[in-house]
A and B are shown apart, each in its own frame.
Chain A
């Protein structure tokens, strides 16, 4: 089992560019999450999904969109990147809400 994988691992964008981060899990988990982690801020939930075809907003959803067309994949989109979106992005999955979350290795995004 690969667990949770994220693509890409690193990316540099210019302000205004768009991109999509891909998260994939092979554990048949229902729940999937996108977080961002910034120095001194801890992990903050961007969006989450409680099952295929569903998405919901987390604590900091502005500037991001998500889709869960397949159970194993959760995509995070930035339509018009801003320097404030420079961060490390983690994807996670779990079998249910309060259960153990399994994290991917992270994507380091820099927006210039």
Chain B
């Protein structure tokens, strides 16, 4: 099983729709979780961190399920500007090493 797995998509959704992405991780010792957004031919940028209790930022909601080892991102009322690739990122440390693993990303296209 890969350390971080995402459905590559693409997800093609109409404006105003609600869309959800899932990401699974294999190492139960993982400590921190993030969603990054990457626009075409641009650098990744942090969208939001994912907390155990779940967190919301406007139209975006992130959830963490440690028992099942997955995180999710929900986007409500999709806008054209939400079209991008969404990267799931998992962090763990240990024995002096640093492990930040990026998923391959899920591509979202919001259609007028």
Contacts and interface: CB of A to CB of B under 8 A. Distances in A.
Contacts of A42: 87, 102-105
A90 B43 contact: yes
Interface residues of B, number: 19
B91 to A, nearest CB: 5
Interface stretch (A13-21, A64-72, A96-104): A96-104
B98 A101 contact: no
B12 interface: no
A45 to B, nearest CB: 7
A43 to B, nearest CB: 4
10 contacts: A35-B102, A40-B104, A42-B87, A43-B44, A43-B87, A48-B98, A58-B98, A97-B98, A103-B45, A105-B43
Interface of A: 33, 35, 40-45, 48, 50, 56, 58, 90, 97-98, 100-101, 103-106
